Amino acid sequence: MFLPGRHYTCRVYCLLTFLAWSTCCLAAPAQPSAWIPAESPLNIAYQTIDELRSFYKLSDSPRSSRQGVYTMLNDTTTVELGPGPRTLRINGVDIALGRPLMRNGVGKLLISRDDWVYWVDPILRPTYIADRIRLGTVIIDAAHGGYDTGAPCGTSRESQVVLHVALALQKKLEDAGIHCVLTRSGDYFLSDRQRVDQSNAMHGAIFVNLHLNKSHSEAAGPAVHVPAPISDTGVPRPVEAFSCKSAALAYALQYMLSAELHLPGAGCRHVHYSILNSLSMPAVSVSLGYASNPREAAALTDAAYQARLANALARGVLNYARATDPQATIPVAAAFSPHAKAPSRKEFSKSPPDKPKTRGKPRNGRQNRARR
């Protein structure tokens, strides 16, 4: 005969905890402020993908282009989850989730509330970001410099490549009426503290750091990094107040880099960089490509390719500035393939026709035979 004991009590407690978590996961409040977080076994708040789909008025895709990928979409947006547990793709741009996707007790797919708040919502609804102000200054930070030459890149060095792109980006943005400041305008060294102090003295600014990546020889494509919204120590950092703006900026830049270079790139992800963590403004670190890839290194040292990089970054900054302007009401960017030309803002605003256009009356069989 089975007698209840301590092990039985523990099993009952775990079962009740699991049932309570599953019930919370199924709640579907109407407003973001009313979200009821579902506590996972790791005490991380999760929401169901059904809530996300309903909130942004997305529909399930009738078919998925890749196995193991769950796709939702509407007329302007495509959101894909998977196949990896931390893989999210929005309009062709890869996003590395901070927490893995999960399923609750009834098989519902879950996404962490942090990833929803700090990735999905700023990207899909940049005009809803709190405390938006008109962009005043773009701080362009070319990494390395002086004796710190960075990684070798073909016939050049990382410090020289990023400086050339920074100078070209400054010209394009100033031609568009955006005030720019370079942390360094020549081949000299600046410490991280000097870059941070110089940048934090400016108001209404965003910080764009430029550098190159280094990995195995096959790795290629641009990537954009933003400071992680929650520090490991639990102590708030100044940059955390701008996490949503940083995510919107990162997405805008990666979107245009992918469109301009016809490369999907490594996407957007959170990182712990000391220079980013110390800033009091929206901040990103853009990897222009892989210096360790011989083919990409040769392109990065080419003046025409550097101009394309600067053009894509300038378009991304301008799109971010328009989306986060206090008076902005523009829709989110339309879904596109990174291998195709990015649609213009004018194309985004076009409404679909009321009915499909026809080319006149359909031909009958005799007319078709006569034509043949």
- What are the tens digits of pLDDT across the range 60-97? 887 655 678 899 999 899 999 988 899 999 999 999 99
Buried b (16+ CB within 10 A) or exposed e, 265-276: bbbbbbeebebb
Kindly report, residue by residue over 172-213, the tens digit of the pLDDT. 999 999 999 999 999 999 999 999 999 999 989 999 999 999
Question: What six digits make up the tokens of 281?
Answer: 């403004």
CA 302, 342, 355 angle in degrees (round to 5)?
160
Question: Averaged over 142-147, what is the pLDDT?
Answer: 96
Question: Averaged over 299-319, what is the pLDDT?
Answer: 96
> 3 lies in a domain?
no
Q: Which residues contact 259 (CB under 8 A, 6 or more apart)?
A: 312, 336, 338, 340, 341, 342
pLDDT value at residue 302: 96
Q: Contact at 8 Å (CB) between 265 and 309? A: no
More confident residue, 65 or 9: 65
Coil, strand or helix: which one is 233?
A: coil
The amino acid that residue 287 corresponds to is S
143 has a pLDDT exceeding 80: yes
- Structurally, the chain folds into a number of domains equal to 2
More confident residue, 361 or 28: 361
Are 182 and 65 part of one and the same domain? Answer: no
pLDDT value at residue 11: 47
Of how many residues is the chain composed?
372
- Beta-strand (E) ranges in 49-204? 59-60, 70-73, 78-81, 87-90, 93-96, 102-103, 109-112, 137-142, 152-153, 156-157, 179-182
d(CA 120, CA 89) in angstroms, rounded, equals 10
CATH number of the domain where residue 56 is located:
3.30.457.10
Last residue of a domain, one of 98, 124, 150: 124
Bridge partner residues of 206 (DSSP) = 138
> 359 lies in a domain?
no
Question: What six digits make up the tokens of 217?
Answer: 């020889």
Mean pLDDT estimate for the chain: 80
Are 119 and 15 part of one and the same domain? Answer: yes
Are 145 and 236 part of one and the same domain? Answer: yes
Please report how many Cα atoms fall inside a 13 Å half-sphere around the Cα of residue 153, on the Cβ side.
Answer: 25
What is the extent of the structural domain holding 101? 9-124
> 272 lies in a domain?
yes
> 61 lies in a domain?
yes
Buried b (16+ CB within 10 A) or exposed e, 197-217: eebbebeebbbbbbbbbbeee
> 58 lies in a domain?
yes
Q: Which residue has the tokens 């499909």?
A: 356
Coil, strand or helix: which one is 71?
A: strand
> 336 lies in a domain?
no
Are 114 and 15 part of one and the same domain? Answer: yes
Identify the CA nearest to 51 among candidates 108, 129, 124, 130.
108
d(CA 296, CA 255) in angstroms, rounded, equals 19
